[in-house]
Amino acid sequence: MCYGVPSVQRRTDESSPNGGCPEIYTAVNASCSCLTTGYSDTDTWEFHITLRTDEGSESYPTTLTSSDVLAIDSIRTLIVPSNLTALRIRGEGTYPQTITFVPQDQSLPGSTLPVADVEDGSIAITTVSLENIDMSSITQTASTFYPSTTLNITLRNCNVIKFGYDFFDGLDSVQYLDMSSNHLTAAYVGSSIAHSCANQFCAVEVLNLTNNSISTFPSVVFNVDNLQELYIAKNDIIDFNISSTVFSAIQALAAFDSDIPDESATCTDGTWQTAHNRKFCVTDGTTTTTDTSGGSNSLVIGLVAGGGAVVIVVVALVAWRYFLRKKDRRMSSSKNDFYSQEFGDTLDFDDTQVQVDPVFLNDPVIITNRLDHKLLKMGKCLSKGGFGLVFMGEYKGRRVAIKKIRPDRSVTAAEIEMFLKEIIMMAVLYHPRIVEFVGVAWDNLRHLSAVTEFMDNGDLRDVLYGYKSKGERLSWESHKATIALHIAEALSYLHGLKPKIIHRDLKSKNVLLNMYLEAKLSDFGIARMRYLVETHMTAGVGTSFWIAPEVLLGRDYDEAADIYSFGVVLSEIDTDDYPFWNDKNKSNRGKIQEAEILSLVAEGKKRPSFSEDCPKAILDLADCCLHNNPENRPTAAEIVVILEHMIHASERSSSSLQSGVWSVTTSDEGITE
């Protein structure tokens, strides 16, 4: 478009095109500004940008220079010359600029979103610097963002909270990493195993984590063999107790900066030592230990001989420690009573006997998202399931939900590894309709906790039942259609990922609502990624009445199984009751009748019921979702479009949803409007 130099493209109906675009763009009122001076015959492109505001009828110049501040609202993948080695983009202003990134090639799979690419030849970019741009969403949803040739990365003051698993995909030689002035709670670099590296930053030499929200000293970074400089000042670290191995690694660095311990800090289990003008409490190998055999007697004799005052101090110290232990037991008694009443003496098992595969604990996602367990406060139990317990809690003043393994199940490595897999799955999902993952915490494996946002109204099942019991049933027009849309949006996100994720346990209990009755999907305990090359998914998962016929029959299945479950959830939303077993269909025959129902479902002879006043549009949609042939069910993305159309049509109409302003019909091909 601009003969090898970048351009700014604008489209507006409020002013005439500036004539700087090819005719195909001019025809749709587009204006183009070619960035000439400063972008030709150079190996570096540098941009200064700001968020575009309402510009009215302002005319656009046909050319701009590198000194101009570009008013934009999005950055499309930059097609760069093959000799370009550095790309720098800086947002102007006090706060990070809210700029979106979009791919140049709309056909790229899933969340693939490269910041730069070349049209011909090989890309040569080694430096990518982004400053003062809001990247909070992009870093969690985009994949393969950086060219594989990137050696130097700067993400400074970009409002970064955490990274999705694939954001750095393709990198393996990064040497310089500056993630300063963000909101990271953990270092993404390193491993808990010495001389071991499990992510894309095995070659990092300079790491800058200044001015973040890290609360635990990031000792894991010292297991990156090439590290030469580390900057971690202006974080939330208050505990500077480190091992002698870590202290030696700090001494060996060419440059190091951190905050200093508080003046009141003590070092009872080690000795204070200094490196790079910073003081640390160095433990193991520096602490004098007391022999518990014959030597201990001579120590006591020496203290007594020295005077009774010392004995009084020692006795007082022992008494004080006893008091603290007793106080701690009282503070946690209510929590422990709950456990003991439910599960007996399982609290006393020794978790050190459980050997969990280190691959899980050293997963970059776990390392990056680990929280300080001491800052996690646990309140009352909110729900109990077959696998876990969910508690109300608090982390750094924020109300959160805390999921833990039931104590009677956490004694095996398999149960813990299953929970870690779920946590890893939760951590890489980021969407407004997915319950937000806050982090993972533990002081020992028995206390392994997944921390998520707190949803004030609990699960959809309880909300529907609660309003029904009060005689204040929610209507499709007021809330139910929007709740259904939110669930569909979550499924559309999961099914659109590469590889796509199948939830496999969609039901009203796994849909949570906030104070505004906005819905978010939760519980990914049995979710599964499906790759195109995968030939068969495991059968027999998901709660029975929500399971698709093909799954019940043990056949191969895909994301269409989630769509069937969505159809069952539509029945729950409509009737405010469970499917099959409910107020209208009571039974005391238990598992026998359940088996009979599931047999009929598998044969396509039985579906969940709907109310007599259910809108026809919902009935038609449910009919499509519950189709016995998975190929005839709509996709989640199609459901989103249809529900949005229904809601918008309803808003434009003064009549109810039953007025026929929106409906769908089934066909052999699936679903049509």
371-453: CATH, from 3.30.200.20, 3.90.180.10, 3.30.460.10, 3.20.20.70: 3.30.200.20
**In terms of DSSP bridges, do strands 176-178 and 206-208 run parallel, antiparallel, or are they unpaired?**
parallel
Query: What does the alpha-carbon distance between residue 671 and residue 639 come to, in Å, rounded to a whole number?
Result: 9
Give the range with max mean pLDDT: 14-18, 65-69, 325-329: 65-69
The residue among 611, 613, 621, 610 whose CA lies nearest residue 662 is 621
Render pLDDT for 399-418 as a digit per residue (tens, 0 to 9).
899 999 877 655 678 888 88
Tens of pLDDT, residues 133-184: 999 888 888 888 999 999 999 999 999 988 876 788 888 899 999 999 999 9
- Reported as a single tens digit per residue, the pLDDT across 536-561 is 344 333 457 888 888 888 888 889 99
Parts of the chain belonging to CATH 1.10.510.10: 460-672
The active-site residue, picked from 134, 363, 505, 523, is 505
What's the pLDDT score for residue 630?
A: 92
Average pLDDT, the chain: 77
Look-up of token digits 């009215």? 56
The answer to whether the CB of 609 falls within 8 A of the CB of 581 is no
C-beta atoms surrounding 120 within 10 Å: 7
State the pairing for strand pair 229-231/206-208: parallel
Task: Write out 123-170 in H/E/C secondary structure.
Answer: CCCCEEEEECECCCCHHHHCECCCCCCCCEEEEECCCCCCCCCCCCCC
Annotated catalytic residue 505: yes
Confidence category of residue 279, pLDDT binned at 50, 70, 90? very high
CA distance 673 to 665: 7
Asked if the peptide bond before residue 499 counts as cis, ω within 30 degrees of 0, the response is: yes
Is the full-model pTM beyond 0.85? no
In the beta sheet, which residues pair with residue 76?
102
147-164: string of b/e by CB count within 10 Å (b at 16+)? bebbbbbbbbbbbbbbbb
Q: Render pLDDT for 220-253 as a digit per residue (tens, 0 to 9).
A: 788 788 899 999 999 988 889 898 989 999 999 9
Identify the CATH number of the domain defined by range 460-672.
1.10.510.10
Q: Which stretch of 361-375, 398-412, 434-448, 507-521 has the lowest confidence by average pLDDT?
A: 398-412
Residues of each domain in the chain carrying CATH 3.30.200.20: 371-453
pLDDT tens readout for residues 287-307: 333 333 333 333 332 333 333
Query: How large is the average pLDDT for residues 329-343?
Result: 41
Question: For 46-63, what is the mean pLDDT?
Answer: 72
Instruction: Work out the average pLDDT over 393-400.
Output: 89
What is the average per-residue pLDDT within 32-44?
Answer: 79
Q: Residue 511: pLDDT band by 50, 70, 90 thresholds?
A: very high
At 562 the pLDDT is 94
Residues of the chain with CATH 3.80.10.10: 76-283
* Contact between residue 614 and residue 567 where contact means Cβ atoms under 8 Å apart: no
- pLDDT computed for residue 581 by the predictor: 67
At how many degrees (to 10) do helices 460-469 and 560-575 cross? 20
pLDDT exceeds 70 at position 501? yes
Cα(232)–Cα(217) distance, integer angstroms: 9
**At the top level of CATH, which class does the domain 76-283 belong to?**
alpha beta
Residues 383 and 389: beta-carbon distance below 8 Å: yes
